[in-house]
Chain A
Amino acid sequence: MNLDDLAELAEQFRAADPVVEREVRVCVAASCQSSGASPVFDALVASLGDGKPACKVKGVGCMGLCSAGPLVSVADKDGDLEGSVLYRDVAPEDAEDIVASLDGPPLERLRCATDHPFFARQQKIVLEHAGIIDPNSFKGYVAVGGYAALIQALSEMTPTDVLREVTASGLRGRGGGGYPTGLKWSTVAKMPGAQKYVICNADEGDPGAFMDRAILESDPHRVLEGMAIAAYAIGASKAYVYIRAEYPLAVERLQTAIRKAKRAGFLGNKIGDTQFSLEVEIRLGAGAFVCGEETALMASIEGLRGQPRPRPPYPAESGLWGHPTLINNVETFANIAPIIREGGEWFASIGTENSKGTKVFALAGTIANTGLIEVPMGTSLRDIIESIGGGIPGGKSFKAVQTGGPSGGCIPEQHLDIAVDYDSLKTLGTMMGSGGMIVMDESSCMVDVARYFMEFCMTESCGKCIPCRTGTQQMHAILDKLAKAQATSADLALLEELCEVVQSTSLCGLGQTAPNPVLSTLRYFRDEYEMKLGGG
């Protein structure tokens, strides 16, 4: 198969439904479903009936503004989100009115403005199909140009060409560490050995983070396509998606996607009639946060206890069952298809000097517009929070934003103008992490915040290494004393010392970064800790 064949196939799929001119798109990702999207979907289908053959109700992925869900958009066939009419907080009772308005002017009472900065300031690469295509439809994905990057790579590029494009793109790992993706791929590609593996890390566990879930629920084929391109580039024939069992909807859609892609010849044996084959298998996590750490994740896939092991050797050298393994995050793989399609240079033109492309963030906490956003690297935190996020509701004032989950830290007001990228966040004592952003207003107590994250790390510690296992427990006990105003200044000094020991001596990333929430809140909000000192 070459690109022309694929374009013909896409044209066939587009033409298969010629009568449909208008689409009523209902978000059926997890956030909108939790606010009642399924009954809305059913009501719309019932209301529409057979009355308007040119209109169709379609389940789509995440449209971003989760706080206004269930979201429904009415768009021309193949139209984008910006050009559509968006309705918010839709209830099943509104279905009749929406259907009635399809031929006339939009329904103003439910309308959500799409020229709001929340939509206008975003730049969608990873989420370009989210909210537009039906995640369960293979044809829908191909119709919008899906799998073209894979066919292009297989039919027109050597593995070295693919590596060159990915390296040129400057893409860095979206799982948190920010390791250059091109370098990682090249390293695995250069490793000797006939058996290599590709792993997609979908064990997203940070509190308040749901980027990977939304990507998998909205556009699962995109992730598979990225994985297939990676497998071709490094010479792997077997891939795993390690996904947490707490994401049943994402698992289901991914299973459907794998099945359909395989049936159509885009996964499995001899993909696109070439010599390249790839088997993709799903492995479910059993609820341990530490299994997001790559060596623990691989142990879990192997059927062992989910515990990290010392690195080196890195997975690139000795990974799954001792074979060279490439392990990347969901969002990283979702960036690959556009990089191949548009070229590495195009991707590198977006973002900052050392952080290229866009980043998906999950906005949560006390902020007007909670949901999923995708912005170019280098967008300022102030833009994200005040303009896109719509600021703090209820007339309260902003206090801090927490990034990077339990491995990250809190950023106070005075640093809001910083351009968000991997390096700038690091200098502030936090990290990009996978992209969770929790906004806190003046009523949040920073000692409580630190205690919450420490409790998280304590209960999620696997128990293998001593500093993380017992250190987090001791630090949590001191934070608990502080929160109850029973701690002394000696306790605070001990807390700081334990932070240093746990950070410097722990075996894996979980322990090494567990003190970050404490250290960053101590750095910017030390007075709050000192005010809590009691006990003489």
Chain B
Amino acid sequence: MPPPANQPNIRVVTLNIDGQDLSAREDETIIEVCRENQIPIPSLCYLEGLSVWGACRLCLVELAGQNRLLAACSTRVAEGMRIQTNTERLQRYRRTIVELLFAERNHVCSVCVSNGHCELQWLAQRCGVDHVRVPYRQASYQVDSSHEMFRLDHDRCVLCTRCVRVCDEIEGAHTWDVMGRGSDCRVITDMAQPWGDSETCTSCGKCVQVCPTGALVKQGTSVGEMVKDQHFLPILARRRHTI
């Protein structure tokens, strides 16, 4: 077989993560290399197959020789990098960030359809959150059940924007977006209309599958019944981007 006509000029670099020497293509990010090598890094907004968002700050890592922390999802690897992914300082920050998320809206696992299958719940377990030190803000929003197949519960939303990105980048509909500022941010369909009235929504359900919590779920699910399946994403993303 002849070699590809234009061989991309990408080098392979070596770097050290948590004491392990690893090799990686220089166009890979730290989190991709970690996932490849089974080095666990907590993350929430990052999802393989979607564009990088860099907002949850859970995947921050320490780079030797630099005081500033780097987000593993948005930082490319470089030759000779020495990275620590799980120091005491990082653990402390991650725990606080997860606590802040729990306190922001209404995350009550015992009554949630995603109980047992929730990424926020897993994160809390992994980051050692046994109680929340900051006061609950008890923000309350209306539930949008206007769509015949799906339901949106803002109280359980963590604003990771996975739904926004999957709808725009993979489905190509761009039904979802974010409105508002600060803690008043919320995801909206079309021009903040009820989901059921959306003219752009194709009812493909990709947003529901990629949602890490019980914010986007199928109608008719009860506590603990909402199991999500994200296997389609890397495959579809690969097809999209290799055309």
A contact residues vs B (CB 8 Å cutoff): 288, 305, 309-310, 312, 458-467, 469-474, 477, 494, 497-498, 501, 504-507
Q: Give chain A residues whose Cβ lies under 8 Å from the Cβ of B185.
A: 462-463, 469
Taken together as a complex, chains A and B put the C-alpha atoms of A461 and B104 apart, in Å, by 15
Q: Give chain B residues whose Cβ lies under 8 Å from the Cβ of A494.
A: 133-134
CB distance from B8 to the nearest CB of A (A): 17
Q: Is the CB of A504 within 8 A of B104?
A: no
Q: Is the CB of A466 within 8 A of B183?
A: no
The stretch from B51-59, B197-205, B224-232 touching chain A is B51-59
Taken together as a complex, chains A and B put the C-alpha atoms of A4 and B69 apart, in Å, by 54
Taken together as a complex, chains A and B put the C-alpha atoms of A470 and B158 apart, in Å, by 11
Q: Give chain B residues whose Cβ lies under 8 Å from the Cβ of A501.
A: 92-93, 96-97
Tell me whether chain B's interface is mostly helix, strand or loop, or mixed: loop
Contacts A460-B182, A463-B181; is A507 near B55 (CB within 8 Å)? yes
Chain B minimum-CB-distance residue to A465: B55
Q: Is the CB of A473 within 8 A of B137?
A: yes
Q: Is B167 an interface residue (CB 8 A)?
A: no
Chain A minimum-CB-distance residue to B94: A505
The 7 closest A-B pairs by CB, nearest first: A463-B185, A310-B54, A310-B74, A470-B100, A461-B182, A505-B57, A501-B96
Q: Give chain A residues whose Cβ lies under 8 Å from the Cβ of B60.
A: 505
Chain B minimum-CB-distance residue to A494: B133
Taken together as a complex, chains A and B put the C-alpha atoms of A99 and B93 apart, in Å, by 68
Chain B minimum-CB-distance residue to A477: B135
Q: Scan B20-62; emit 1 where CB is below 8 A from any A CB, else 0.
A: 0000000000000000000000000000000011111100100
Q: Is the CB of B97 within 8 A of A467?
A: yes
Q: Give chain B residues whose Cβ lies under 8 Å from the Cβ of A474.
A: 100, 103, 134-135
Taken together as a complex, chains A and B put the C-alpha atoms of A506 and B134 apart, in Å, by 18
Q: Give chain A residues whose Cβ lies under 8 Å from the Cβ of B134.
A: 474, 494, 498
Q: Is B217 an interface residue (CB 8 A)?
A: no
Taken together as a complex, chains A and B put the C-alpha atoms of A471 and B101 apart, in Å, by 9
Q: Is the CB of B93 within 8 A of A464?
A: no
Taken together as a complex, chains A and B put the C-alpha atoms of A290 and B20 apart, in Å, by 39
Taken together as a complex, chains A and B put the C-alpha atoms of A469 and B134 apart, in Å, by 14
Q: Give chain A residues whose Cβ lies under 8 Å from the Cβ of B53.
A: 464
Q: Is B15 an interface residue (CB 8 A)?
A: no
A sample of 14 inter-chain contacts (CB < 8 A) reads A310-B75, A312-B75, A461-B182, A462-B182, A463-B184, A466-B57, A466-B159, A470-B100, A470-B101, A473-B104, A497-B96, A498-B134, A501-B93, A505-B93
Q: Is the CB of B181 within 8 A of A462?
A: yes
Q: Is the CB of A505 within 8 A of B69?
A: yes
Contacts A467-B57, A474-B134; is A310 near B101 (CB within 8 Å)? no
Taken together as a complex, chains A and B put the C-alpha atoms of A11 and B224 apart, in Å, by 83
Q: Is the CB of B182 within 8 A of A310?
A: no
Q: Give chain B residues whose Cβ lies under 8 Å from the Cβ of A505.
A: 57, 60, 69, 93, 97
Q: Is the CB of B181 within 8 A of A466?
A: no
Q: Give chain B residues whose Cβ lies under 8 Å from the Cβ of A504.
A: 69, 93
Q: A305-B178, A466-B100, A506-B57 are in contact. List 4 more A-B contacts (CB 8 A).
A: A466-B101, A470-B104, A494-B133, A505-B93
Taken together as a complex, chains A and B put the C-alpha atoms of A156 and B38 apart, in Å, by 60
Q: Give chain A residues whose Cβ lies under 8 Å from the Cβ of B103.
A: 470, 474
> Max chain B CB contacts within 10 Å: which of A312, A464, A506?
A464
Chain A minimum-CB-distance residue to B159: A463
Q: Is the CB of A463 within 8 A of B182?
A: yes
Q: Is the CB of A463 within 8 A of B178?
A: yes
Query: A473 contacts which of B54, B56, B93, B182 (Cβ < 8 Å)?
Result: B182
Taken together as a complex, chains A and B put the C-alpha atoms of A477 and B100 apart, in Å, by 13
Q: Is the CB of B97 within 8 A of A460?
A: no
Q: Is B71 an interface residue (CB 8 A)?
A: yes
Q: Is the CB of A470 within 8 A of B74?
A: no
Contacts A471-B100, A498-B96; is A288 near B55 (CB within 8 Å)? no
CB distance from B76 to the nearest CB of A (A): 8
Q: Is the CB of B57 within 8 A of A465?
A: yes
Query: A463 contacts which of B57, B74, B96, B180 (Cβ < 8 Å)?
Result: B180
CB distance from B67 to the nearest CB of A (A): 9
Q: Is the CB of A459 within 8 A of B56?
A: no
> Max chain A CB contacts within 10 Å: which of B52, B96, B137, B180?
B96
CB distance from B185 to the nearest CB of A (A): 4
Q: Give chain A residues whose Cβ lies under 8 Å from the Cβ of B57.
A: 465-467, 505-507
CB distance from B6 to the nearest CB of A (A): 18
> Max chain A CB contacts within 10 Å: which of B92, B93, B134?
B134
Taken together as a complex, chains A and B put the C-alpha atoms of A419 and B133 apart, in Å, by 42
Chain A minimum-CB-distance residue to B134: A474
Q: Is the CB of B96 within 8 A of A460?
A: no
CB distance from A11 to the nearest CB of B (A): 53
> Max chain B CB contacts within 10 Å: which of A305, A466, A506?
A466
Taken together as a complex, chains A and B put the C-alpha atoms of A188 and B54 apart, in Å, by 25
Chain A minimum-CB-distance residue to B71: A310
Taken together as a complex, chains A and B put the C-alpha atoms of A309 and B104 apart, in Å, by 22
Q: Give chain B residues whose Cβ lies under 8 Å from the Cβ of A461.
A: 181-183
Chain A minimum-CB-distance residue to B52: A310
Q: Give chain B residues whose Cβ lies under 8 Å from the Cβ of A465.
A: 54-57
Interface residues in B82-107 (C-beta closer than 8 Å to A): 92-93, 96-97, 100-101, 103-104
Taken together as a complex, chains A and B put the C-alpha atoms of A168 and B138 apart, in Å, by 56
Contacts A310-B71, A505-B69; is A460 near B181 (CB within 8 Å)? yes
Q: Give chain B residues whose Cβ lies under 8 Å from the Cβ of A309.
A: 54
Q: Is the CB of B183 within 8 A of A469?
A: yes
Taken together as a complex, chains A and B put the C-alpha atoms of A372 and B134 apart, in Å, by 42
Taken together as a complex, chains A and B put the C-alpha atoms of A341 and B188 apart, in Å, by 53
CB distance from A492 to the nearest CB of B (A): 13
CB distance from B54 to the nearest CB of A (A): 4
CB distance from B91 to the nearest CB of A (A): 12
CB distance from B156 to the nearest CB of A (A): 15
Taken together as a complex, chains A and B put the C-alpha atoms of A288 and B185 apart, in Å, by 14
Chain B minimum-CB-distance residue to A471: B100
Chain B minimum-CB-distance residue to A309: B54
Q: Give chain B residues whose Cβ lies under 8 Å from the Cβ of A459.
A: 181-182
Q: Give chain A residues whose Cβ lies under 8 Å from the Cβ of B96.
A: 497-498, 501
Q: Give chain A residues whose Cβ lies under 8 Å from the Cβ of B74.
A: 310
Taken together as a complex, chains A and B put the C-alpha atoms of A239 and B135 apart, in Å, by 47
Q: Is the CB of B54 within 8 A of A458?
A: no
CB distance from A504 to the nearest CB of B (A): 6
Contacts A305-B178, A494-B133; is A464 near B55 (CB within 8 Å)? yes
Q: Give chain A residues whose Cβ lies under 8 Å from the Cβ of B133.
A: 494
CB distance from A303 to the nearest CB of B (A): 13
Q: Give chain A residues whose Cβ lies under 8 Å from the Cβ of B69.
A: 504-505
Taken together as a complex, chains A and B put the C-alpha atoms of A443 and B54 apart, in Å, by 43
Q: Give chain B residues whose Cβ lies under 8 Å from the Cβ of A288.
A: 181
Taken together as a complex, chains A and B put the C-alpha atoms of A472 and B184 apart, in Å, by 13
Taken together as a complex, chains A and B put the C-alpha atoms of A2 and B142 apart, in Å, by 67
> Max chain A CB contacts within 10 Å: which of B52, B57, B74?
B57
Q: Give chain B residues whose Cβ lies under 8 Å from the Cβ of A458.
A: 182-183
Taken together as a complex, chains A and B put the C-alpha atoms of A460 and B182 apart, in Å, by 7
Taken together as a complex, chains A and B put the C-alpha atoms of A453 and B134 apart, in Å, by 20
Taken together as a complex, chains A and B put the C-alpha atoms of A309 and B52 apart, in Å, by 9
